[in-house]
Structure 1
Amino acid sequence: MKKIMLLAVLALAFTSCKNNGQDTKEEKVSYAKFGDSITAEGAITGAELLEKYKTLKDSTDTLNVKVISKIKEVCQKKGCWMNLELSGKEVAFVKFKDYGFFVPKNASGSEVIANGKAFVNIISVDELKHYAKDEGKSQASIDSITKPEITYSFLADGVLIKK
């Protein structure tokens, strides 16, 4: 009987010290890839990108950059553009190089890493109305657009969206 109790205590001790299948390494993040192959390494935050935008002099001044942020909005017609959160209410309007790829229309709220060129852009009234229509806004909202808009823009060649 003492041997059985001793074996039971030893078995209990060994199982309680076991790792329970939990890996001590950090969990690897999985991303869906769109456009060129990129990695997450070297990405700056949206707030850091906003500070870099403020250093740009005009629409011909560009920065090659990789940013990690959240997707605020996506084109609901095709997924051909998205808005990235920068800081506060500020967003970056992202198009995709050569219209070569799109992102899923349901990607709003997802973490994203985008690689490409950041620049300041003046968007015409016609283009703003086109985007509002793509976004599914009401006709009254579309008709209320009367002035061009200066925006933070981004031309992405590669995008990773966290799965």
Structure 2
Amino acid sequence: MKKTFFVIASLAILGTSCNSNNSSEESGQHEELVTDTPIGVFGAVITEDEVTPLSNLVASLEEGEEFHGKVRGEIKEVCVHKGCWMTMDLPNGETMRVTFKDYGFFVPKNSHGYPVIIEGVASKKVTDVETLRHYAEDAGKSKEEIEAITEPKNEYAFEAVGVIIKEDA
């Protein structure tokens, strides 16, 4: 009788713990990250080897190809609400928006200005007005600046699977 009770109790506890542990991805909520020092690895664990120069990424995208790999740069801007995107300057004077695969992770909101290595897929794409306005709102732009966005924009986009934010280059 004691064995039966123990087995039933164990199964009940196991079943409850397996079903009630919703990940932040499933619930659509993520922890907002602000740390004293935003150094670390976010998303998939990636390494610092085999990093491609940003100029090679730009050349691939200008030829109409997708880029798959890792690049190193500096974080220019970060979503002020959640850290759900960031931007990086490219050697051609353009800016590249970096989003995170499946909205699966964020970076610290105070990580602008830090050196970064990102791994994933880059492409050139047209971003619609609604999305551009959303990004402007996330960046803390004024209502007037947001309303001034009236046309889609051809942009460099990078979907990262992993990010390493470094203390120094």
TM range (shorter): 0.7 to 0.9
What residue number does 1:43 align with? 51
Deviation at 1:78, TM superposition (A): 0.3
Q: Does 1:148 align with 2:152?
A: yes
8 Å contact kept, 1:94–1:153:
yes
What is the correspondence of 1:56-67 to structure 2 with a 5 Å cutoff?
A: 56=64, 61-67=65-71
In structure 2, what residue type is equivalent to 1:38? I
The aligned residue for residue 62 of structure 2 is 54
Deviation at 1:47, TM superposition (A): 2.5
For the pair 1:69 / 2:73, whether they are aligned, the reply is yes
Residue identity (%): 43
Q: Does 1:96 align with 2:103?
A: no
List aligned pairs for 1:80-159, cutoff 5 A.
80-159=84-163
* TM-score, structure 2 normalization: 0.73
Q: What's the counterpart of residue 166 of structure 2?
A: 162
Bigger share in strand: 1
1:12-52 CA-partner distances (Å, limit 9, x unpaired): xxxxxxxxxxxxxxxxxxx5100001101011222232222
SS of equivalent residue, structure 2 residue 82? coil
Distance 1:72 1:47 in 2: 17
Structure 1 residue 124 displacement after superposition? 0.5
Higher CA-based Rg: 1
CA distance in 1, matches of 2:159, 2:47: 17
SS across alignment from 2:117: strand
**Structure 2 residue matching 1:118: 3-state secondary structure:** strand
Number of equivalences: 129
1:142 and 1:50 map into 2 onto residues whose CA distance is 28
Give CA-to-partner distance per residue, 1:60-94, whole Å, 9 cap, x none. Answer: x5221200001111000000000012115211111
> Counterpart amino acid of 1:91?
T
Tell me, yes or no, if the aligned pair for 1:46 and 1:85 is still in contact at 8 Å.
Answer: no
Distance 1:101 1:147 in 2: 29
Q: Which runs of 5+ in 2 are unaligned?
A: 1-38
Q: Secondary structure at the match of 1:87?
A: coil
Distance 1:128 1:54 in 2: 22
Aligned pair partner of 1:33 in 41, 54, 69: 41
Listed as ranges, the matches of 1:11-30 within 5 Å are: none
Q: Deviations over 1:88-120 (max 9, x none)?
A: 521111100010100011111110000000111
